[in-house]
Structure 1
Amino acid sequence: MLVTVHATITRDAQMGYGYCERMQWHGDRWMIAPGATPAPAPSTWPGSDVSRAAGWRTWAGEGDD
């Protein structure tokens, strides 16, 4: 999972965070899968060329474009 967090407290700030876990489709949803931990992915900004080259995918919730 690679996300962008946007928060406004007293000024505008952003951060990116990535967390990688082995996943599998189970029934009607994604779940953490058994097995070895995936290889560490590079730390990168969501949507960047480096993130796409590393295989990160954009997570869009229901109704998102």
Structure 2
Amino acid sequence: MSTAEEIAMLMGEYIATTAELKACRQRVQSFRQEMTEQMAPLRRRLDELQTAITDYLRCKALQGVR
């Protein structure tokens, strides 16, 4: 195999690998976006629960002061 043929073969492999990498990055980005969207309601609920717990503990602390 000539040097030119080897270079052509390597360039073809490089292009194919680059395309695979680009597709993989796109899948990762899509997955991240999907997970972000799915987590949003859970994060809101967690914030609500944290606020409720804090309010409850404040109320209990005030009852103990009286």
Q: Same fold (TM over 0.5)?
A: no
Select the structure of larger CA radius of gyration.
2
Greater share of strand: 1
Greater share of helix: 2
Q: TM-score range by the shorter chain?
A: under 0.3
Q: Which structure would you say has the larger RCO, counting Cα contacts within 8 Å and 6 or more residues apart?
A: 1
